[in-house]
Structure formats: structure tokens, C-alpha cells
Structure 1
């Protein structure tokens, strides 16, 4: 199977490496040199963004903000299947339906940074078929767990899993101070480790997530309520949080 990967960033390179044992991989990117490097790493090849060549499958591995335009520009290069690993599903699948209506259509979201692979991958099989099924099976054989979902369920979950979680951690990173050695509590230490992990990433990726998904405003509003609460209201908010996260303990 020959696969074109549009986007030679971290996620595109992860996808290419994950399927290279079963597929012939080509890369294209606005940065031609990056496409060459990515292709060399998997014994593949680089092609021009303007190529008129067609492939069994095309995978869009571009930022969330660019996925709709990328699908419009490149979906026609697929003979059979169009996929994406952008991380936002409803806009991607709507664009695939518009520009690749007669192709297999699958949206994937690896729920991990490429260097932490393998892991869980959210999957929506909008228009399944044998080519995309073969790619998914290859990813599963590489040790990944495929989480079947819907575009709506996924995108709503990302409001908490990504937008709210990142906002909370980055807010701590901006507000808290480092403390003398030995003063750390388990909670502080855990948040410090999360802050170090999040701030070791790519700022644009986190900015794209905040632009794509709601969630940050809810965190800001909750923090404001906590900051302004008197002792009685604080206890009430604490109990609300406990009830939300420990409901199963009482069942």
C-alpha cells in the first residue's frame, strides 16, 4: 500500500514510522527539507506539495487550524482512503465528507506525545473500508489501543482532557513559585512535574488546542470562585468537587 503523509512534523513522522513496515510512505510538507528528513527516516520518499500523483491513502498530519484547508488541497490525491491525525475530529470529518465523499474516511487522535508511543488512539470510522482497516490494524499491532468513538464525543471530551487540563496546569506554572528543597508537598510535587511536562512541548500546539476546544473559561471561572469564596462557600465548593470525583466511592 502506498500512503502520502501531508505534514512532516512530530505526528506525521510518528504515523510514518508506525505504518512503514506495511506500507510505502511518501511525505510532503510546506518545508521540503523536513519532508526529505522524514522520508529518509522510514526509507520513504518526499514529493512536492503540488504533485498530481495519487496514493492508496492520504493522511493529513497538520495542525488543527490547517486541517480543513489541507483536506481540501490534498484529499483528491487519495485513490481509496483519507485519514487525519490532527486531533480535532468534527471539522476534519466534515471536510473529508465534502472533498472526499467517495473515499474511506477515518479520523485518528493519538492521545499521547509521539515520544511516548505506543498508547491509546481515539478512532472515528466515518466511512470504513479495507484500506483504512489495514492501517488501523497495523497501528494496533504496534502496541496501540484503538478507542472507538464518535466525532462529537471526542471533541466534547477534549474540552476537559486537553483545554481545561492544560489551562489548569499552565495557570499553576504561571502563578506558583519554586520553593526551597524539602518544602514540597505531594500535591505541589505532582503539579510541578505536570508543569515541567507541559512546558516542555511546542507552544503552538497548545495554542491550537485552546483555539479548537472550549474549557479554559470554565477553569478560570472556577479559580475565581475559589479565590473569592469565604470559608463556608469554600467548603461547599470543596464538597462539590469531592462529589464529582468520588461519586463511585459511595456506590
Structure 2
């Protein structure tokens, strides 16, 4: 039956409920998992190269702003989050922990990596500006906070250790361990909510200026150029 197929245009897969793979009545398992990872059923995560010009513009805008007022309050809010995040728990120990705990550890890892609150604020504003400037983006709150969370999560996401293992038959063996927490699900929403709480009152003033600064230095977003078509538009040219 048509009603048992995923509601995303062009998908054609059965819904997770009808396939016995979940309770989603309108989307297939693939698109449910895609939303958990990206914050949208159809819009993918932005690449670092797409996001960087907007983060740079946001950083320049923050540098030009007075350190008091809304900017100072947002920076202090993020500094408080980092300072109160507690100790860093290795990524190997996070499996099975609540999303709120894993989000706290993510901020603790950012603090230990030396990430400044102002940089986190610039990333949140840069992500918000990119979504606003991209005509093909999914302009929902969930997509925005997930994209901001993924961008900061990439700054210090894993546990990395190395040691020398004794080898009785020869030289010691160099051993390395690299573990990364899963960048998906509720934990991204928890991280994004904290970023949003700090920066949401700045966004109405900041975004038009950040977009203008980015456009003056790097040109308009590709979606503003003649002939652009969104990725979901599969009609023949």
C-alpha cells in the first residue's frame, strides 16, 4: 500500500513500522537514522569547507563587538558550561550512559582541548548564518542545533592513547588506541540546546551582518547563483 511507504519523495522504502523495524509510521528506518545523525530527514550535514567562511565571519563580527552586553553574557554562559562540565570520561566508558551525561563529557573534552567559549559562540552563529543563507537548507530548530553540535563535537571528539607494550622476543611494540563517541541521537540535541541557550538572543542581530561579511569576502552562497537547483529537485534540465 502507498500509505506504508516512506513519505520522503523518491524513497520508496517501507516505513519502519510496516517493515517491523521500528515505530515510525511515516518514514523508513534509513531516514529515521539519517535524522538522528543529521537533524533532518533529507538535508545532510554541512562539510567543514562550507561552514568555515561563516564561522570566520562570525568570529570577525564578535571581535568587533563590545565585550559587554549580549556578547559578553553569551561568552560567560559558555564559559560557565565548560567550567562546570566536570572531569573527562574516556570515550570507551560512554556507551550506555544517559545523553545528558555524554553531553557534559563532550563539553569537558572541549575544555581540556583548550577550546575557548568565544569559538563555540562563533560556530553556533556561523552554523545559524549558513542555514539562513542556504536556500536549500532545512530551516528547523532541530537541524540547526544538531549541526552546531556536530561542528563543535568535531573539535575534540575522541580519546587517544598510546603506550609501549613489552615484547619478550624483541623491541617493545608501540600500541595506539583511538576511540570516538557516537555522533548521533539525543546527545547532539543536548549539546546543541546548550549552545542555543547561550547564542539565541544574539542571532537576530548577528546573522544579517555575518552573512553580509561572508558575502563581501567570499561571494554569495551557491544557492543564490543563476541555475542553482536544490539537491532534491530531480527534474530534467
Common fold, TM-score beyond 0.5?
no
The structure whose residues are more often strand, as a share, is: 1
TM-score, normalisation: structure 1:
0.23
Q: Which has the higher contact order (CA 8 A, sep 6+)?
A: 2
TM-score, normalisation: structure 2:
0.24
